[in-house]
Amino acid sequence: MANMARLDILLREEPPLDLIVLPEMWSTGFTMRTALAEEMGGDALAWMLQKAASSSAHIAGSISMKVNGQYFNRFCVVSPTGKIQHYDKRHLFSYGKEDHHYSAGKEQLTFSIGDWKIRAIVCYDLRFPLWCRNTDEYDILLVVANWPRPRIHHWDALLRARAIENQAFVVAVNRVGIDGNQLEYNGHSAVIDMNGITLLDMMEKEEIGKMALDKEALTQYRQQYRFLQDRDAFTF
């Protein structure tokens, strides 16, 4: 509830937006305490539905969720009309024993907002380039995470690599703060373009960052540098 109240404050004065992105497990923080998981009708998803309707924006972020007796790190995106799409995190963070508590997803999610095609991934997925590979010409790779300070230089490098190799914008939102285990998360939320240039760098700030993306610039870049047409063909 505290995170929802904090977000209500941060978002109170925001102008109209198309998409609002929250971190991984935004309502609880990254946790192996599955007792905190909610079902699809729970408080966190209800808040997302209410906020999407009141703001006329899509709301995206992951939630610890219980479904038919299994637990998932579930990315949800909610439209202003109440449509819910979801993606269950594929690569579970075995170093932190996430795979002992949650089940891995099996399917990718590419969703649309207007004429933008957006691929969703969650945190550790970022380390796996084949899973992120742009085989259907998505425009934005959307990453939500709880990525800690000791490996933040990995985060910075991988975001840029995924943008360049997939010729796509990367929109990445990471947690800020210290958790109950005294593990520090220092943000570095960012927007990176298809050429690997950082358009928005949130550094260690806990605040709302805003960026308007240029679809025509993406199209022109892909037409000039036709790297995607030479990619290897494979499917999951």
- What's the one-letter identity of residue 209? G
The CA-CA-CA angle for residues 71, 18, 163, to 5°, reads 70
Compute the distance between CA of residue 8 and CA of residue 20 in angstroms, rounded to an integer: 12
Indicate if the alpha-carbon torsion angle 236, 74, 111, 123 is positive or negative. Answer: negative
- Which residues are CB-neighbours of 188 under 8 A, at least 6 positions away? 147, 152, 155, 156, 172, 174, 201, 202, 203, 204
Residue 205: active-site member: no
Between helix 2-11 and helix 43-55 the angle, nearest 10°, is 10
Which of 76, 89, 98, 132 is labelled catalytic? 89
Which of 51, 76, 98, 123 is labelled catalytic? 123
Q: Can you read off the two tokens belonging to residue 6?
A: 């904090």
Compute the distance between CA of residue 144 and CA of residue 59 in angstroms, rounded to an integer: 12
Compute the distance between CA of residue 214 and CA of residue 72 in angstroms, rounded to an integer: 34
Residue 24: active-site member: yes
- Which residues are CB-neighbours of 195 under 8 A, at least 6 positions away? 163, 164, 221
- What's the one-letter identity of residue 78? V
- Nearest CA to 62 out of 98, 16, 27, 10 is that of 27
Which of 24, 51, 76, 132 is labelled catalytic? 24
Residues recognised as catalytic: 24, 89, 123
